[in-house]
Chains A and B, each alone.
Chain A
């Protein structure tokens, strides 16, 4: 068996493959704008023969790049008469509340390309005004004259009755077969017209380019002999066929970043740890997600380009619920006008990069601080390819320290502490803020910087254990080798959770299940290869926001109802500290169907008995508030299950460095994952 996963990042394109139970990796530069060529280059570097590949998965940033760089199609929107400005009015909010100079995010479809058509459906799905089919042709003429290549259709209440959207799409396709068309019903069946219109518009906007990209990728791969169907990573935590991805591109929006979170979930399952917080620290950002009992949290309240000073653009597609902050290895340290130290969100990127790169960067970054304090090995920096300029780093921290009235070393420590505080905040957002106690979770950290900061973050939050999985540096790609196909079916409906409504709930679930079976059948899956999960978005009657609960997949009867109601009360209490004796109302039902594929085995490492780990060197490391120690340095490849290392220690590998703090204790699991027990003394004393 040969299984391959590729992941395109901003700087590198990673390949991870498993052959005969051993894992290999390769990295190539990402090729702009011909990303598929980067994938091919990386494959060539591995010397793999494409025709030997049994499974091929791919994570791509094409969709998010097309959106953020505004390089998508000229898109037209067709909407219900009276509502073409919905996209421009948006929600009317000013998140930067004191800033009267606020600028609203500009719609992706300008006003002259937003056309209205006579039709109307009410919230029950009843047609009040039939679709004026004769109005479509003049709109097509106008769009053609304006160079439109993609069309979004969004009518009011189409979640309740999509007939008009379907008819309009069919009419357009008949008259203009080459244009890309997306209906809101295909991408989102939830209430709230602005969010749904925006989702449809952005889907259309990215469709032509994504379609072309995947087509090129597939054809280049098959020319090289690939025989299996390539799978594409989706934001919902599953993979899908290339053919399906081409028609549903918006589902790929977080295709890249979620791979690592899923990898952490799979790894946790493999070693039998149900409750984890996954933390991915890269060059410019850190991302984290909380996974309880193996359930990966999914949200449809996803917004791109949302900042404290901008509303951004909502996209109602299922995305793994993660928190991302502008803090990574390249985050720049700076001082405000009242002499307070900050780190990030601006990043030095890879050019000029941290001061240590010697490419002209003068502003100290988190990575520089980790080098200066001795946590990162100067001799093995960026895999030994860069010789950091210690003098320049010292100067940078000296100048920072001068402004703060402290030494260069204290300034560097301050940078690490502030970076950690920012990341602790992000970890609290996914745990404490949602009613979870971080002490009940294990922190699985990866990405280039995860292993470096994880133990300090865990100490701060009293998390008892940190795990650094194997291949932590290229974990996103590895994660993709562990996944099933996944499709989310969400349908808005308003029904009270009462015995009288059981038939209608059952009927709607059945409708979604049929839809799912049909979709998977087209991909060649039979019923026994499909696994379902069911969720409900519900609220106490009168509330505006919902709580998502998992409900069981068995028969929808009185027992099912009792259990679902009990789950809702306890989840509501967990999130909001109280429960009410009110009727519960269902707002959306949600079916998740997995098409099961064979997974790779993760290779085990032979256990050694009572072997002492041997450090390969020793150096002075400043662990800030934990003290300065002469510290043993180990190579990860020298470690085996059965060994125990007491902190302080540093574990080095090609793509990352693990800091083991004083009082921490490290052991290995059978796959070589590093398990670090924190045992930290109370740092305040």
Chain B
């Protein structure tokens, strides 16, 4: 399923960023197995199945129905771009399972190309909303709905291509599951599923016993909602007992006017992601693992936004929600958790028209950017890596970018922030700098978070740095910004810089042979080595 979707997709955000997840649930919507490009969808598929069952009732669900749903406010939804498709699996007229997939479609309509906005204030500006409806009924496509989609999105071939890839994935999953039933019988398979879920839970409980027990608190600052409001507070109290990990987000600020709100579906994913990371049960994530999570968050907050809050840029709050738990636990779990990372998905959407083909066709490039991770108790931070929570997301190769979009990439390099940023016994990793020279007039939407509050250090190290972008024209580098849409004229360059991670431990404890190697590899200058690390100048 996972491979079928990736390899037949039309969207780079799917086939390179792997911004999708697929899975199988049982008839009631309990997650049996999930294949993920990114952890962000781990909380979404089972919820989607449950919401379809609740809405339609079992009697209205037939073989060869396919449902489409992207509501952010229910069923594990996130934002409208993440479209979930679901197919009930019937065996001898009995509903026995569901195959489901959720993928980030590049275009779902709405006010901005790419359907992810910096400045929307309500859901109605953000694109097509599918409230858990049938796009296929008993094998028959709902042509009216497909025509409606085609008429409401900017790149209909790409959008409908993504739909077909999703359907391919569902069909592959269904076929494999039925093969299993034919081979082993329904009873054996259902019993095996129960055993598998119970085994996962048992593994989790074993691992919980090894974790430090207690209550841990942390807060972080979300600097802005993109339309001038902020800063906002995100707070968590984590309690680890022998039986449960409890994450309580009480104390987090209320939902905001701008499009950064995250619904409860996103919070479930964040909680599951961070839980799987710290518990590390040694089994694939399934419903059995999640029985040991307790998640608490009052409604209408930044992490539990409700209708009609704007949510199209929700994903950075999801990163914050997971990171704040890791911040709370970092000192208690050295060797497992890190100092603060650049901490944002750093989405860039470039839109324009191809001038190089005979046809003047529109293009939209949606991509997240890699940045620097924080240092750990016994390792330096990773450089140029997609943010924690972005999983197997991969960058779009420069050569592909230049072949598909009207830009010339002038540099794709690790960024040197200087000033002792990220210094520590273990230093933070470097962010990247990416320069696009516009070969025709283009527009760029920059949607960067962590614009003012830098990544947090641990045990006396230095903070990391923030993300920003700027336009470079004849007059040189213009002012830095983090969230806006800019028009770039042919011949101008847009520069995107992601943050470096924070360090772990006092810089003066860093061994000299590592500092020497840092200087040789130009990670730091000799002056910086002297001023920050007290390394001899000579």
**Contacts A85-B413, A92-B384 known; A578 to B164 CB distance under 8 Å?**
yes
Query: Closest CB of chain A to B139's CB: distance in Å?
Result: 14
Query: Chain B 251-293 against A: per-residue CB contact (8 Å), 1 yes, 0 no?
Result: 0000000000000000000000100110010100100000000
**Partner of B412 from A89, A102, A191, A684 at Cβ < 8 Å:** A89
User: Would B8 and A578 count as touching, CB distance under 8 A?
Assistant: yes
Please measure, in the bound complex, the distance between the C-alpha atom of A543 and the C-alpha atom of B16, giving whole angstroms.
11
**What residues on B are CB-neighbors of A102 within 8 Å?**
382, 385
Closest to B378 in A: A101
Instruction: Report B438 CB to chain A, min CB distance, Å.
Output: 14
- Contact pattern, A 328-350, Cβ under 8 Å of B = 1, otherwise 0: 00000000111110000000000
| Contact assessment for B188 and A684 in the assembled complex, using a CB-CB cutoff below 8 Å | yes
Which of B24-32, B71-79, B166-174 forms part of the interface with chain A?
B166-174
Q: How far is the CA of A577 from the CA of B411 in the complex (A)?
A: 40
- A100→B334 CA distance, assembly (Å): 12
Q: C-beta contact mask, B176-204 vs A, less than 8 Å → 1, else 0?
A: 10000001110010000000000100110
Name the residue of chain A whose CB is nearest to the CB of B383. A88
Q: Please tell me if the beta carbons of A99 and B280 are within 8 angstroms of each other in the complex.
A: yes
A544–B393 CB distance below 8 A: no
What residues of B have a CB within 8 angstroms of the CB of A156 in the complex?
Answer: 398-399
Contacts A85-B413, A104-B382 known; A192 to B391 CB distance under 8 Å?
no
Q: Does A110 contact B (CB under 8 A)?
A: yes
Q: Does B471 contact A (CB under 8 A)?
A: no
Contact B326 A577 (CB under 8 A): no
A92 to B522, CA, bound (A): 20
Of residues 427 through 443 on chain B, the ones whose CB sits less than 8 Å from some CB of chain A are: 432, 435
Q: Are B161 and A543 in contact (CB under 8 A)?
A: yes
Query: Nearest Cβ distance between residue A339 and chain B, in whole angstroms?
Result: 8
With A433-B3, A578-B167 given, is the CB distance from A112 to B411 under 8 Å? no
For residue A83, CB closer than 8 A to chain B, the reply is yes
A122 adjacent to B408 (CB under 8 Å): yes
* Contact residues of A between 421 and 461, Cβ < 8 Å to B: 432-433
Contact of B413 among A84, A91, A110, A576 (CB under 8 A): A84
A545 touches which of B7, B202, B203, B282 (Cβ 8 Å): B7
Q: Which residue of B lies closest to A582 (CB)?
A: B157
Residues of B within 8 Å of A543, CB to CB, are 7-10, 15, 161
The answer to whether B395 touches A684, judged by C-beta atoms less than 8 angstroms apart, is no
| Proximity string of chain B (1-28) to chain A, C-beta cutoff 8 Å, 1 when within and 0 when not | 0011011111110111010000000000
Nearest residue, chain A, Cβ from B323: A100
Contacts of A111 in B (CB 8 A): 521-523
Of B7, B397, B411, the residue contacting A82 (CB under 8 A) is B411
Q: Which of B378-398 contact A (CB under 8 A)?
A: 379, 382-386, 388, 390-395, 397-398
CB distance from B35 to the nearest CB of A (A): 10
A97 within 8 A of B: yes
Counting CB contacts under 8 A, is B84 at the interface?
A: no
Report the nearest A residue to B394, measured CB to CB: A91
Interface residues on B, range: 35 or more
Q: Residue B410 at the A interface, CB < 8 A?
A: yes
> What CA separation (Å) do A545 and B10 show in the bound complex?
9
Give bound CA distance, A192 to B398, whole Å: 7
Cβ of A33 within 8 Å of any chain B Cβ, yes or no, is no
Instruction: Assess the A577–B172 pair: CB atoms within 8 A.
Output: yes
Chain A residue numbers with a CB within 8 Å of B277 are: 98-100
**Considering residues B176, B379, B521, which has the most beta carbons from chain A within 10 angstroms of its beta carbon?**
B521
**Inter-chain contacts of B399 with A (CB < 8 A):** 123, 156-157, 191-193
A145 at the interface (CB under 8 A from B): no
Q: Tell me, yes or no, whether A630 is within 8 Å of chain B by CB.
A: no
Asked, given contacts A543-B15, A545-B15, whether A103 binds B382 with beta carbons under 8 Å apart, the answer is: yes
The residue from B183, B280, B335, B398 contacting A98, defined by CB atoms under 8 A apart = B280
Q: B397, A192: Cβ atoms under 8 Å?
A: yes
B273 touches which one: A84, A98, A195, A540 (CB < 8 A)? A98
Instruction: Please determine whether B391 and A94 come into contact, CB atoms closer than 8 angstroms.
Output: yes
Of the candidates B184, B385, B399, the one having the most CB atoms from chain A within 10 angstroms of its own CB is: B399
Instruction: Please name the residue on chain B nearest to A90 by beta carbon.
Output: B384
Across the interface, do B388 and A100 meet the contact criterion of CB distance under 8 Å?
yes
Q: A339 vs B388: C-alpha distance in the bound complex, in angstroms?
A: 31
The reply to whether A82 and B395 form a contact with Cβ atoms under 8 Å apart is: no
Whole-angstrom distance from the CB of B525 to the nearest CB of chain A?
A: 14
Q: Are B397 and A193 closer than 8 Å at their CB atoms? A: yes
Q: Check A100/B338 contact, CB under 8 A, given A110-B521, A542-B161, A543-B10.
A: yes
B393's partner among A93, A99, A100 (CB-CB below 8 A) is A93
Q: How far is the CB of B527 from chain A (nearest CB, A)?
A: 18
Is there a chain B Cβ closer than 8 Å to A282's Cβ? no
Asked if residues B203 and A193 are in contact (CB atoms below 8 Å), the reply is no
* Cβ-defined partner of B411 (8 Å) among A83, A575, A582: A83
Shortest C-beta distance, A424 to chain B (Å), equals 11
B117: chain A residues at CB < 8 Å are none
A565 beta carbon closer than 8 Å to chain B: no
Residues of B contacting A122 in the complex (Cβ-Cβ under 8 angstroms) = 402, 408
Q: Determine which residue in A83, A90, A97 has the highest number of CB atoms from chain B within 10 A of its CB, and name it.
A: A97
Q: Report how far A192 CA is from B171 CA in the complex, Å.
A: 31
Assess whether B247 is interfacial by the CB under 8 Å rule: no
Is A494 located at the chain interface by the 8 A CB criterion? yes
Residue-wise, chain A 110-130 has the 8 Å CB interface mask toward B (1 for contact) of: 111000000000110000100
Closest A residue to B402 by CB, please name it: A123
Q: Known contacts A102-B382, A111-B522, A684-B185: does B391 contact A89 (CB below 8 Å)? A: no
Q: Which of A58-117 contact B (CB under 8 A)?
A: 81-86, 88-95, 97-104, 110-112
A336, B202: Cα distance in complex, Å:
11
Q: Across the interface, do A336 and B394 meet the contact criterion of CB distance under 8 Å? A: no
B260 CB, nearest partner CB in chain A, Å: 23
Nearest residue, chain A, Cβ from B155: A542
Q: Give chain B residues whose Cβ lies under 8 Å from the Cβ of A81.
A: 411
For A196, give the chain B residue with the smallest CB separation: B399
Q: Tell me if A580 counts as interface (CB < 8 A to partner B).
A: yes
Q: Which residues of A contact B199 (CB under 8 A)?
A: 338, 340
Contacts of B227 in A (CB 8 A): none
Most buried by A among B8, B395, B402, B432: B8
Q: Report how far A573 CA is from B402 CA in the complex, Å.
A: 30
List, in ascending order, chain A residues with CB within 8 A of B338's CB.
100-101
The answer to whether B176 and A432 touch across the interface, beta carbons within 8 angstroms, is: yes
B10 touches A193 (CB 8 A): no
Q: CB-CB < 8 A to B413: which residues of A? A: 82-85
Structural contact, A89 and B414, CB atoms closer than 8 A: yes
Q: Which parts of B346-396 form the interface with A (CB within 8 Å)? A: 370, 373, 376, 379, 382-386, 388, 390-395
Complex-state Cα separation, A100 to B273, whole angstroms = 10
Q: Are B412 and A83 in contact (CB under 8 A)?
A: yes
- Is residue B484 within 8 Å, beta carbon to beta carbon, of the partner chain? no
Which residues from chain B contact A97 at a C-beta distance below 8 Å?
36, 38-39, 273, 391-392
B403 at the interface (CB under 8 A from A): yes
Residue numbers in B under 8 Å from A92 (CB-CB): 370, 384-386, 393-395
Judge if B62 is at the interface, Cβ distance under 8 Å.
no
CA distance in complex: A338, B167 (Å): 37
- Interface pair B10/A86, CB less than 8 Å apart: no
For residue A194, CB closer than 8 A to chain B, the reply is: yes
Q: Are B9 and A544 in contact (CB under 8 A)?
A: yes
By the criterion CB–CB under 8 Å, are A337 and B206 in contact?
yes
In the bound complex, what is the Cα–Cα distance between A673 and B382 (angstroms)?
Answer: 53
18 contacts between A and B (CB under 8 A): A82-B435, A88-B414, A92-B394, A94-B386, A95-B391, A97-B36, A97-B392, A101-B379, A102-B382, A192-B397, A193-B397, A337-B203, A339-B202, A540-B161, A544-B12, A577-B4, A582-B157, A684-B183
User: 9 other contacts beyond A100-B337, A191-B399, A338-B202, with CB at 8 A cut-off?
Assistant: A85-B412, A86-B398, A86-B412, A91-B395, A92-B370, A92-B384, A97-B39, A195-B397, A542-B10
Binding site for B on A (CB under 8 A): 81-86, 88-95, 97-104, 110-112, 122-123, 128, 156-157, 191-195, 336-340, 432-433, 494, 540, 542-545, 572, 575-578, 580, 582, 684
Chain A to chain B: the 5 pairs with minimum beta-carbon distance, closest first: A82-B411, A544-B15, A89-B384, A97-B391, A92-B370
